[in-house]
Amino acid sequence: MKTPGFIAYKNIIKRPARSIALMILAAVLSLSLLGGTLIVQALNNGFGSLEDRLGADIMVVPYEATTKQELENIVLQGNTGYFYMNGEYLDELTLLEGVGRISPQYYLASVKAGCCSMPVQIIGFDPETDFAITPWIKKSGSGEVGYLDAVVGNDLNAFVGDEMSFFGVKVNVVAKMDKTGTSYDTQVFTTRQTIQTLIEASLNKQLNEYASINSGNVISCILIDVDDTHNVDEVVNDINIHYKKLRAIRTTNMISGISDSLAAVSDIARIIIAAVWIVALGIMILTFFMMTGERKKEFAVLRVLGASRGKLAKTVLTEGVVLSFAGGIFGVILGLIIIIPFSGYIETKMALPFLLPGTHVIIFAAALAVLLSALAGALTAGIAAARIGMIDTGMILRKGE
Amino acid sequence: MRIRAEQIKKEFYRKSRGSNIFDAVSTCDFAMDEGTLTVIKGRSGGGKSTLINMLSGILVPTEGKVLYGDIDIYKMNDRELSCYRNSHIGYVPQGKSAIASLTVMENIMLPGILYGFRNEIEAVRLMDKFGISHLRDAMPEELSGGELRRMAIARALIKKPDVLFADEPTGDLDDENTTTVFEILREVADNGTAVLVVTHESDASKYADKVFRMDAGELSEE
């Protein structure tokens, strides 16, 4: 082992309290950096996923759905619920000026009873016109979804090949979606024909709030993509003026609250990271300064034994880098242990869409956190090393300190 | 090798007394030869340590030069001078000078370790010679003052230096240990090393070939 490494190693081993304290500070640096970055990144991913998941410019629902806030509960919060309107609205809105793509959705909530495997939100889509759900299903590697087939969200305890029962009707799980960080993760998706069968079954079992609807002619929601030549707000206004029983909502407005919350959480996370770094760096600088003060005589002795100023500086620098690197790794491991298994809990507590980035991004963020912690250690130790470079050996030895 | 100081002087700026500059060591000449033990006596604060530090290459004189043979050591850069100190100069600092995180053995080998060489055989020989071989794996905090001082002398001698400086080597030792230390230093000189001891021990003179006195920065031969 080279000289600076040998003396640094000995100091680290023989001064465990100080070494552990410095490692903990470095761990706090990397933990805050990794934790903050992953949380902000997961929120951004979740929000992006939510935007994609909405997949349309406009959502049209029965007017009472918006007053009861059922729509937001289902779409944004992942709660269960359903509402219906006459299916003929779909034909009428298709003819509206400015409407590009248009597709219906069907909502049904299963119940916690013997007839259903689990209480979940079931969403039906029309495979021929759908442009919101199908891309996600395809992204998950699933093929065609047929009659009485179901695709389940990632968080649901159901897997490909399983059979689920809703209102006494058995459906086969043909695919499980990738994690989206949104309400998709707790929902079940079927085709229009399947969900119509399920609605009919729920009516037959008198487990549907709507007692007298025609299951073959109701829809819950209409998704609209406005064509490029029209303004989204104009189409929204057009629908809201002409269809009093409907409510057209611009999807970006639906998630503006989430966007604001996300911005606030991101700002808070950044402020916390900055505060933690400032405090921890300050303590590290202070610790190294105290250490150089305490060991002034030792450094002076090393000088008379033939250590150059450069060698002394390298010794302190090595100590700082080794401790902060080790602490950085410890902090990263701690961060991953906390964030990855508890991401679901964090998501619930924050009530915001939360989608952790991919493994390669996490590895990159972890490596960066360790690197920056080690650099912080090098910087703080470097300041101390510069101070050591200026010590007057003769003066220290003359004083006999 | 002859060590000479020509017209060296050290001034210090004394903050507590305005802009007063004082001479810690007034202009003087000094020389010592291999195989001799030189003692500089004097009261505390008289400039003895300042002189020894200038002679050993760790305190740049305000004026004058220090020559090891024909080499002016203060013409070297820090790296060269550090390396030169390591190879040619042994130094026993005053007070406790052990590196707390190293064992006795590692402390003794430290001058070698600094330049990537662990001379264990010589370290063991010196420990045997100075009666501290049973402490090779002990930490400095476990040693008595006398043992620490013997360890510091062994460390100063590990690289067989041309010159050995000892600054108050018996400062806090009892009579028995003081005698032991001076006997060791005498033996080192007899083996060919130039030894300079700064002390206020009156008994030191009987071990010396040459005795100087230093008071208020003025050096005089006794």
- The residues near A234 (Cβ < 8 Å, ≥ 6 apart) are A98
| Strand ranges, E, within A177-279 | 187-191, 218-219, 221-226, 246-250
Residues of chain A positioned with their CB less than 8 A from the CB of B97: 297, 301
The model's pLDDT over A324-381, given as tens digits with 9 standing for 90+, comes to 999 999 999 999 998 888 877 777 777 677 888 888 999 999 999 999 999 988 888 8
Answer for the pair A344, A154: CB distance below 8 angstroms, yes or no.
Answer: no
List, edge to edge, every strand of the sheet that includes B37-41: B89-92, B163-167, B194-199, B37-41, B210-215, B218-221
CA dist A360 → A333, A364, A366, B5 (Å): 16, 6, 10, 66
- Domain B33-58+78-221 adopts which CATH fold? Rossmann fold (3.40.50)
Answer for the pair A56, A223: CB distance below 8 angstroms, yes or no.
Answer: yes
**A67 pLDDT exceeds 80?**
no
Exposure pattern of B107-126 as b/e (b: 16+ CB <10 Å)?
bbbbbbbbeeeebeebbeeb
Answer for the pair A301, B111: CB distance below 8 angstroms, yes or no.
Answer: no
Any A CB within 8 A of B177 CB: no
Q: What is the largest distance, in Å, between two alpha-carbon atoms of chain A?
A: 101
Q: Considering only CA atoms, give the Rg of chain B.
A: 17
Answer for the pair B131, B124: CB distance below 8 angstroms, yes or no.
Answer: no
pLDDT of residue A93: 92
pLDDT of residue A401: 43
| Cβ separation A2–B116 shorter than 8 A | yes
pTM comes to: 0.71
Range of A66-80, A133-147, A288-302, B67-81 with top mean pLDDT: B67-81
- Domains of chain A: which residue ranges? 3-49+258-399, 53-253
| Cβ separation B115–A3 shorter than 8 A | yes
The model's pLDDT over B70-101, given as tens digits with 9 standing for 90+, comes to 899 999 999 999 999 999 999 999 888 899 89
- The residues near A167 (Cβ < 8 Å, ≥ 6 apart) are A110, A111, A115, A116, A198, A201, A202, A204, A205, A207
pLDDT of residue A65: 79
Answer for the pair A338, A28: CB distance below 8 angstroms, yes or no.
Answer: no
The model's pLDDT over A36-48, given as tens digits with 9 standing for 90+, comes to 888 888 888 888 8
pLDDT of residue A49: 75
3-class SS of residue A129:
coil
- Residue of A2, A3, A314, A398 to mutate, interface with B, max B Cβ within 10 Å: A398
Of A3, A300, A392, the CB nearest to B114: A3
- The residues near B31 (Cβ < 8 Å, ≥ 6 apart) are B2, B3, B4, B5
Answer for the pair B163, B156: CB distance below 8 angstroms, yes or no.
Answer: no
Q: ∠B64-B68-B70 over CA atoms, to 5°?
A: 85
- Domains of chain B: which residue ranges? 33-58+78-221
Only one residue has tokens 């969900």, namely A195
- Residue of A295, A296, A301, A305 to mutate, interface with B, max B Cβ within 10 Å: A305
Tell whether the torsion through CA atoms of A94, A96, A100 and A103 is positive or negative.
negative
Measure the CA–CA gap between A309 and B80, rounded to whole angstroms. Answer: 11
Residues of chain B positioned with their CB less than 8 A from the CB of A319: none
Measure the CA–CA gap between A207 and A212, rounded to whole angstroms. Answer: 12
The model's pLDDT over B109-163, given as tens digits with 9 standing for 90+, comes to 999 998 888 889 999 999 998 889 999 999 999 998 889 988 999 999 999 999 9
| Strand ranges, E, within A139-232 | 149-152, 163-166, 169-176, 187-191, 218-219, 221-226
Which is higher by pLDDT, A181 or A87?
A87
